[in-house]
Amino acid sequence: MDSVLAWLIITVIKILVILGIVLGIGAYLTLVERKVAAHIQRRPGPMVVGWHGLLQPLADGLKLLTKEDLFPRYGNRFLYNLALVLALVPATLVFAVVPFGPEFETFGIKVKPILTDVNVGLLLVFAFGSMAVFAIALAGWASNSKYALIGSMRKAGIVVSYEVVITFAVMGPIILAGTLSTYEIVQKQIEQKLWYIWLQPIAFVVYMFAVLAEMGRVPFDIQEAEAELVTGFTVEYGGMKFGLFPLVEWYVEGLSLSAIAVVLFLGGWSPINIPFLGFIDPLFFLGPLSPFVWFALKVTLLFLFILWLHWTLPRYRIDQITSTAWKVMLPLTFVNLVLTAVIAPLIWR
Amino acid sequence: MPWAKAEEFVELKNRFEGLEVEEKPTLTALHVDKGRLIELLKALKEEFGYKLFIDHSVIDFPDKDPRFQAFYILYNVDERKRVVVKTWTRGELPSIEKLWFAGKWAERECYDMFGIRYEGHENLVRAFMWETYQYYPLRKDFPLEGYATEYLPSLNEVLWGDNLQGLMNYDRMHTPVPTLEDLEITEKRRLQKKAQIVLNWGPLHPGTHGTMWFLFDLEGERVVQCDVILGQLHRGVEKLAENEMYNQFLVYTDRMDYLSALCSNQAWVVAIERLLDITDLVPEKAKYIRTMLSELQRINSHLLWLGTYALDLGALTIFLYAFKEREKLMDIIEGITGARLTISFPRIGGVRMDLPEGALEVIKAFIKRFPKELKEWETILSRNRIWLRRNVDVGIITKEDVYYYGLTGPVARGSGVPYDIRKFEPYDAYEWVEFDIPVGEKGDVYDRYLVRLEEMRQSIRIIEQCVKALEKMPKDAPFFAESPDPKKLKLPLDGIGLKVPEGEIYSSGENPRGELGFYVYSTGGVKPYRVKIRPGSMYNLCVYPKLMKDRVIADAVAILASLDPVVGEIDR
Amino acid sequence: MVKKVFEKPLSWLERILFLDFIRGLSITIRHAFRRTITTHYPYEKLTPPKRFRGFFGHKVVNGKEPQPAFDEWVERFKIKVEPGRSRCVVCMLCKRACPVPQLFEIEGEKLPDGRRRVSVFNMNMMLCTFCGFCVDACPVDCLFQSDIHETASYTRKDAVLNLELLERIGRDWQARREDEPDRIWIDDAQRQKLWYENDLKLPEVRR
Amino acid sequence: MIQWLVFFLFSGIAVLSALGVVFLPNPIYVILALLSVLVSVAGLFFIAGAELVGAIQLLIYAVAVTVFYVFVLTAVPWEKAIKKDPFYRVEGLISFPLVLALYVEMVLVFLIGVSVSPKGQFRELITKFGNTEVVGAILFSKYFLAFELVSLVLLIGMIGAVIIGRKEAQTYEDHSS
């Protein structure tokens, strides 16, 4: 009886930690983005609220909360609000299968820093990832405006086509690791002393492009191509609801998909890897904490790379985006699958 | 001023018996009667090579029997000659839409302003006013301040009860204002719906960079047909011109194309100097200063185009980089002229003030670093595969289209037509500086982008030569013309006193957006009788519906940005 | 004379290794580590150049008038000259030179000793185009344009410059910037924030 | 004990939303009810320990299939579709025997299936390997032929869909890719 109780308490603690991390960092990522974008464009970014703009997310949050909440006249109110829930919940659920670090020992209980070590972790990631399509389609339809409908059709089209691409791109590392559970994938990479990015460069590039499309970042930034449609399907939302969609899409999903990328390709919490030889760990002085720091470091670096891309490249046209998904990315992943099938036995020996 | 000579039209004279040719130093005109007008225009276009349509409008003589004198200005790009065809009419004219599509928009404007009916016009609607407007504003019998028929008290009075007596006593009666129903009728008359959905893109839309109202007939994402409603920024500049003195109208020229104020001022000033025939009186230093400043203004305007163009296609950082350089240019212009946007620095006969100390050093410092910045942006954009995918083979304008749609400026040069007024009819110091004209070959959006970037580099070359020449001149060289005897020809620095003799002229300057031409008809006195302004970006915009056929909405932004229209110049 | 514009297409090697993206990204990262160029407006302000065409002002009689012209016009219009008050000779030249004459409202008043003085000089700044024709037309260099550009106001009445306000601007301008040399701008730290990368050294002012 | 509790919860939601599917007037609410049925069925799979089938159920049904229903409903203006009379009496009568036959067949298949299906031989295998490997092993050994045939049927279905869905030729004048 007490093991179930202990298990329950640990899970509740894990849930609280993960929710705290996700939503807390999510808000502060808006500040990181505005600072990075500002310095790329030779301007200082938010400086007024708090020292160097540290309180800016709170200010934004307060402003959005106090904004008036409009509702289009003939829209469908229940779906209008349901779309929000359907956007936020799956995006945060993805963190349930993300392993933050190795197993560790506290107060005599062995704790795995992963919410649920389901051995179909990766499948769940894509199931939750594509639940976002519901939110987009319903948001567009429920706000009863031409712009919102066209915007939601476009965005949903992209997310569906890149859902397929991302699933196939991830096949490579799964074959190498031999399991679907995210925790074991990282274990395997540490055992084989090999990050999967060295063997799967094509898969990594395709995965990154699919992440950009899934998040709606440039060059697949069709959602708020403000030049044509005002802000895509969120045009009829106001106040915090309008603020929530980019928070979900850009920051929560951004974090989760780059965390999965780190798990699959950059060896989770393992330090820097030289293929087949082993690991060098410049942060060894941190001791048991270093894996967690390594994981956080890699996720932030990947996220900053996405920001860097977002503020440099122009944006594709909608039909070019979907045609690259089906005509370029998908064949690339098939080629990659064939290659992995050839070199995989070399790794399993 | 290469106008066509009289003897070239001898062969035409015997073919059209009523034709007589009038050749003046400022203008060569062919007078023909209304019946044979279309044949003459067709002959000029096919046989004599006057393919490029420049402008068409009407002059109103209320006391004469055939009341309106219509004029058509054509240009022969190969032999660089210009001719004006004139005819008299009471209110009916044959439409020249089949010969030049640009004529369609010019005729809409004449119908709107003068009430001239055109038979054979495909969809004769008002160009700027709303459909249910009853008057014809540019006619001489329409008062300058309009008929104040509507009671419209100012909101301060109605809501807060301010009493607006005294200097600010705005009269409560107001000229008619369009209601929503009027705009509804305008929209219905403008475009017959053929496909699924009519998407209203404008009049206030972040993508249009100005109050242009686009109607897209959409079939899914594909545009079946498209048309534009203009007039949101129509301030009746031509009506004002008829009531302002020659020098004072300078202030309105920099409100038209508000991004290249100095180039428009220079074009107006050169037009009046040519009409007065005092171009050689203007001192050399003034000419160099005016040329250098208008080239700085050209780079300034191209930077804004580049910034908003990259912004529309998603490259947000280029917007900030372009505006960083633009800020430097604004500082230079502000230091020399005192104003950043509405600069009325040139005067008829020279410039307002000499260059301040340190101006040439600052310009040299700017020129030294600007090509490096341009190179950096090109590495980000020009060979970026996304930029190429969005721009290559999009919105292709062929050479024939340039003539058919009356396109000028970078839009024409992008398709391979080397039409540049600074080379064909050099004014001010353009004949003393040497520079190249960038020309594209395919005529798609990418070529126009490259042409404008190359034009910025050529402007840098011009400014370099101007700075070198200005440095050699003595400090106290004159910057304003001394008229030989002030009694006969008074050339004041301020706005009053300039008397212009009888005559008419068409002279144009090369604005960053195309040819800005002034057709000035003066009957002596201090105020012009009629000023027709040839807007570069209006005729560049009339090719937009043709480019948008069968394209995706996302291209609408790229093609519009490549035409670079400015609403102030279109609506005048 | 005619220059063909051309850009060579992407080679397949560049397509495979994303070289065009890498080159673009390297430029943005270089810009990220350079100094920021913006002035933080309400806290740091740029000083406009001397020739700036901002709000108008009346220069005050302080002995530095353009001598031959000032005495001539005072005699012709029999104006009472008071040191510390506006130099205006009520000649209406500025109103005639202005493209929008309705913005001027000028009246002179006859004093008991027979001389005249400017009593009302209102300028409705909502109609003004700031073109500076009136400044050129003023024969006694009384009307001028100061460097005040923060001119927003809540009511239409505040947008009207009356004589007393014009004189106050004039006195402040004559005290502050009258004897500055006619330079393109004042080379202070705020200007250098934008111009430091052009390593610009304005020549020393020859007093 | 918790498993029973959660089991009743999920099955309760499933039954309720299934009823919702049938009785809700607004088609969008019908689709959402269907979605909640599928998600709760996936929950049932998870409780039963069959994680792979639960995850696949979520991935395929709850997301891929229902999304396209939502697409159709949001794109097609069904509010304006003309509604003749609310109840199709004639069709209802004819289809009743068919539904009955279908129901009987389902019961038969269920009974035979239970009697024939393996009784717990794989239990210790599942604990050792985890059911993904086990399902994979069975699928690619015992039922390999069925697996290949089904993939063929799917392929033909996809090709048919592409042919029907293809729009008339592009009419861009420059045929950019």
Q: What is the mean pLDDT of residues B522-547?
A: 91
Highest mean pLDDT among A132-136, A340-344, B365-369: B365-369
Least confident stretch, B239-243, B317-321, D77-81? D77-81
Average pLDDT value for chain A: 86
Average pLDDT value for chain B: 88
Residue B3 pLDDT: 85
Of the partner residues B389, B392, B550, the one whose CB lies closest to the CB of residue D172: B550
Of the partner residues D59, D62, D177, the one whose CB lies closest to the CB of residue A123: D59
Q: pLDDT confidence of D84, banded at 50, 70, 90?
A: low
Q: pLDDT confidence of B531, banded at 50, 70, 90?
A: very high
More confident residue, B157 or D160: D160
For helices D131-141 and D144-165, angle between their N-to-C axes, nearest 10 degrees: 90
CA distance D46 to chain A (A): 10
Q: Could you read off the pLDDT of A26-66 as tens digits, one per residue?
A: 889 999 999 999 999 999 888 888 888 899 999 988 998 99
Distance CA C33, CA C46 (A): 24
Of the partner residues B222, B389, B393, the one whose CB lies closest to the CB of residue D174: B393
Q: Is B171 on the interface with C (CB under 8 A)?
A: no
Distance CA B327, CA B321 (A): 10
How many interface pairs between B and D have CB atoms less than 8 angstroms apart? 13
For helices A77-93 and A239-246, angle between their N-to-C axes, nearest 10 degrees: 30
Q: Which two tokens stand for residue B317?
A: 């950082």
Q: What is the mean pLDDT of residues D115-135?
A: 73
Domains along chain D?
1-75 (1.20.120.1200)
pLDDT at D87 over 70: no
Interface contact D171-B550, CB threshold 8 A: yes
Residue B408 pLDDT: 92
- Provide, as residue numbers in chain A, all residues whose Cβ is less than 8 Å from the Cβ of B311: 227
Residue A276 pLDDT: 77
Phi, psi of B374 (to 5 degrees): -60, -40
Interface contact B167-C122, CB threshold 8 A: yes
The pLDDT > 90 percentage for chain B reads 43
Q: Which residues, listed in sequence order, are joined to residue C160 by a DSSP beta bridge? A: C124
DSSP codes, B76-97: ETTTTEEEEEEEEESSEEE--T
Give me the amino acid identity at B78. Answer: D
Residue A289 pLDDT: 83
Residue C207 pLDDT: 47
Residue B482 pLDDT: 83
Residue B328 pLDDT: 93
- Can you give the C-alpha Rg of chain C in angstroms? 26
Q: Could you read off the pLDDT of B451-500 as tens digits, one per residue?
A: 999 999 999 999 999 999 999 998 888 888 887 777 777 787 776 778 88
Predicted structure pTM score:
0.90
Angle at A85 between CA A124 and CA B220, to 5 degrees: 90
Least confident stretch, A145-159, B108-122, D35-49? A145-159
pLDDT at D139 over 50: yes
Residue B405 pLDDT: 92
CA distance A21 to chain C (A): 28
- Provide, as residue numbers in chain A, all residues whose Cβ is less than 8 Å from the Cβ of C31: 40-42
Interface contact D58-A76, CB threshold 8 A: no
Q: Is B292 on the interface with C (CB under 8 A)?
A: no
Of the partner residues A40, A222, A317, the one whose CB lies closest to the CB of residue B390: A317
Query: A243 near A198, Cβ under 8 Å?
Result: no
DSSP state of C153: -
- Provide, as residue numbers in chain D, all residues whose Cβ is less than 8 Å from the Cβ of A184: none
Residue B265 pLDDT: 93
Beta-carbon contacts of C31 under 8 Å, excluding residues fewer than 6 positions away, are A40, A41, A42, B317, B321
**ipTM score for this prediction:** 0.86
Q: Phi-psi category of B514—alpha, beta or left, where left has phi over 0 and alpha has psi -120 to 50?
A: left
Distance CA B1, CA B6 (A): 14
DSSP codes, B372-425: HHHHHHHHHHTT-HHHHHHHTTSS---HHHHHHTT--THHHHHTT----HHHHS
Q: What is the mean pLDDT of residues A134-159?
A: 85
pLDDT at B534 over 60: yes
CA distance B441 to chain D (A): 16
Distance CA B428, CA B418 (A): 20
Q: What is the mean pLDDT of residues B29-50?
A: 89
Residue D175 pLDDT: 41
- Provide, as residue numbers in chain D, all residues whose Cβ is less than 8 Å from the Cβ of A120: 51-52, 54-55, 132
Residue D176 pLDDT: 40
Going from the C-alpha of B73 to that of each of A229, B100, B506, B572, D160, the distances in angstroms are 40, 12, 9, 19, 60
Q: Which two tokens stand for residue D76?
A: 């097609």
| Sequence ranges of the domains in chain A | 74-348
Q: Could you read off the pLDDT of A210-235 as tens digits, one per residue?
A: 999 888 887 777 765 654 556 678 88
Q: Could you read off the pLDDT of D21-38 as tens digits, one per residue?
A: 888 888 888 899 999 999
DSSP codes, A33-71: HHHHHHHHTTS----TTTGGGTTHHHHHHHHHHHS----
H or E stretch including B504? Answer: strand B502-511
Q: Is A66 on the interface with C (CB under 8 A)?
A: no
Residue at token pair 């002959």: B43
In A58-77, the residues whose Cβ lies within 8 Å of chain D are 76
Going from the C-alpha of C109 to that of each of C90, C94, C119, C120, the distances in angstroms are 10, 18, 6, 9
Alpha-carbon torsion (B14, B19, B24, B27), positive or negative: negative
Q: pLDDT confidence of D105, banded at 50, 70, 90?
A: very high
Pairing outcome for strands B150-151 and C160-161: unpaired
Q: pLDDT confidence of D173, banded at 50, 70, 90?
A: very low
Residue A229 pLDDT: 56
Q: Is D66 on the interface with A (CB under 8 A)?
A: yes
Chain D CA closest to residue B388? D176
Beta-carbon contacts of A343 under 8 Å, excluding residues fewer than 6 positions away, are A199
More confident residue, C3 or B118: B118
pLDDT at D177 over 60: no
Residue A118 pLDDT: 80
Chain B CA closest to residue C138? B494
* Test the B interface: residue of C3, C22, C206 with most B CBs within 10 Å: C3
Instruction: Give the Cβ contact number of residue B552 at 10 Å.
Output: 20
Q: pLDDT confidence of A338, banded at 50, 70, 90?
A: very high
Q: Is D176 on the interface with B (CB under 8 A)?
A: yes
Burial degree of B174 (CB within 10 A; 0-12, 13-18, 19+): middle
Domains along chain C?
56-176 (3.30.70.3270), 183-207 (no CATH)
Residue B36 pLDDT: 87
Interface contact B206-A227, CB threshold 8 A: yes
Residue A228 pLDDT: 53
Q: Which two tokens stand for residue B461?
A: 């070359």
DSSP three-state, residue D59: helix
